[in-house]
Amino acid sequence: MRSTEHLRELCARLLSAQEEERRRIAHEVHENLAQAMIAIQLRVETALNEMTGNGDTKALELLEPVAAILQEGIGSIRMITGRLRPSVLDDLGILPAVSRLFKDVMSNHPGLSIEASLEVEERDIPEALKMVIYRILESAVCSILKKNPNGLVAISLLQEGPLITLAIRNSGEGLVSEEILPGCEIQEWSAPATIGERAMLSGGALTVASLEGDGTTMQISWSLEEGTNPVAG
């Protein structure tokens, strides 16, 4: 039992270290590469304005596509860093981060409707648990989209006494136990841990109920009582 607990704590620390490395890389890419491209874009736009005033049409034809390429590249960098580590999670917290995630998903997949009920205070969620919750939601939504990008998904995050509970209910095909336990990566950007592994390593209790024709409900609860740290540090 001691060996099992030690292994669990080690795996949890490895996941935490991985998330910290993702955060560091995302920060460096944003602060260095993205800022350098923005500086180049500003210089190109300044040159374009000068050429417009001088009537240098040939140079304008050459530089205008460059400005568009730079703009597209900056957008791609922001998308990549957001997938590595959503800045809104660090800047504003888990509740705004998951709200942004749901908004982006529904914007890109109009057939999917997400009903979210977030009945917990930001301050009541341990910092280390916030990233766990975000990755689980990310992976769960990915699983649903891969099977059926249409339908209704009900998501709740609430605190009941010493418990924080995350529940995801999919009304149709998509979120099935076979994918929850082996895992569903969020495109190529997800950590290799499965939903079940993340729940276990963070101290959560996972239950899955799937009825034919009635969708699937996944629920994870974490205890916040003293001595039951939901995430190994």
The ranges assigned to domains in the chain are: 2-84, 93-223
185 or 97: which leads in pLDDT: 97
200 or 116: which leads in pLDDT: 116
At 28 the pLDDT is: 82
Asked if CATH classification 3.30.70.240 holds for the domain at 93-223, the reply, yes or no, is no
177 or 203: which leads in pLDDT: 203
Given a cut of 50, is residue 187 above it in pLDDT? no
Q: What is the DSSP letter of 204?
A: E
pLDDT grade for 190, boundaries at 50, 70 and 90: very low
Residue 66: enclosing H or E segment and its boundaries? helix 57-84
Q: Give me the percent of the chain exceeding a pLDDT of 90.
A: 19
Q: Give me the percent of the chain exceeding a pLDDT of 70.
A: 81
Let me know: does 138 contact 186? Beta carbons within 8 Å.
Answer: yes
At 97 the pLDDT is: 92
Mean pLDDT of the chain: 79
At 222 the pLDDT is: 93
Let me know: does 202 contact 12? Beta carbons within 8 Å.
Answer: yes
Given a cut of 70, is residue 158 above it in pLDDT? yes
Given a cut of 50, is residue 156 above it in pLDDT? yes
Whole-number Å distance between alpha carbons of 191 and 186? 8
At 221 the pLDDT is: 94
List C-alpha distances in Å: 46 to 43, 49, 65: 5, 5, 14
Tokens for 224, please give them: 């916040």
At 4 the pLDDT is: 64
Q: How many CA atoms lie within 13 A of 59 on its CB side?
A: 13
Average pLDDT over residues 28-45: 85
pLDDT grade for 87, boundaries at 50, 70 and 90: confident
Given a cut of 50, is residue 141 above it in pLDDT? yes
Q: How many CA atoms lie within 13 A of 35 on its CB side?
A: 7
Lowest mean pLDDT among 105-114, 170-179, 217-226: 170-179
SS3 label, residue 213? coil
Whole-number Å distance between alpha carbons of 36 and 51? 23
Q: What is the DSSP letter of 123?
A: G
Given a cut of 70, is residue 194 above it in pLDDT? yes
